[in-house]
Amino acid sequence: MKTITLILIITLGLTACSTTHSDKTNESNDSISKTTTKIQAMNVDEESLLLGVWWNADEKDAPTASFQINDSTIYYPDQEGKSEYNYQIKQDSLIIDLDGYILTSKIEKVTKDTLILITKGEKSTFIKTE
């Protein structure tokens, strides 16, 4: 769990320095502020599969879950400070607004108990607990 959190923090820090960051942020802020979970490339059943508490498959015995996806927010229980952010689904991507920084992950697979995300070329597998 701490590894995923550390990777997320490092990724956020490195990409925050990107020169294209502000352009992407400005384009996405309007759509994310009106967050919806309407999925264009996935059907309603697949959309509901995303909802729930997810654990990193490699750390399923960790003391806390990786994140919880609700109807319009994603919650990171192991994060200090603000831990809940708006998200949206566009086609096959999970787009999270981390207070001005936009994190996009490709949803490679979602089933009733497995979620595979690809973020910046790195594949992560999560297991649903609820």
Question: Which domain CATH number covers 65?
Answer: 2.40.128
Does some domain include residue 16? Answer: no
Does some domain include residue 26? Answer: no
Does some domain include residue 15? Answer: no
Contacts of 59 (CB under 8 A, 6+ apart): 1, 3, 4, 66
Number of domains in the chain: 1
Does some domain include residue 98? Answer: yes
Does some domain include residue 42? Answer: yes
8 Å CB contact between 62 and 8 = no
pLDDT tens by residue, the chain, 130 residues: 444 443 444 444 434 444 344 444 444 444 444 333 333 456 666 778 999 999 999 886 777 899 999 999 999 998 889 999 999 999 999 999 999 999 999 999 999 999 999 999 999 999 998 6
Does some domain include residue 69? Answer: yes
Q: How many CB atoms lie within 10 A of CB 124?
A: 19
- pLDDT computed for residue 36 by the predictor: 35
Contacts of 116 (CB under 8 A, 6+ apart): 107, 108, 109, 110, 123, 124, 125, 126
Does some domain include residue 20? Answer: no
Separation of alpha carbons 80 and 86, rounded Å = 17
Provide the β-strand partners of residue 1: none
Q: Which domain holds residue 69?
A: 2-9+35-128
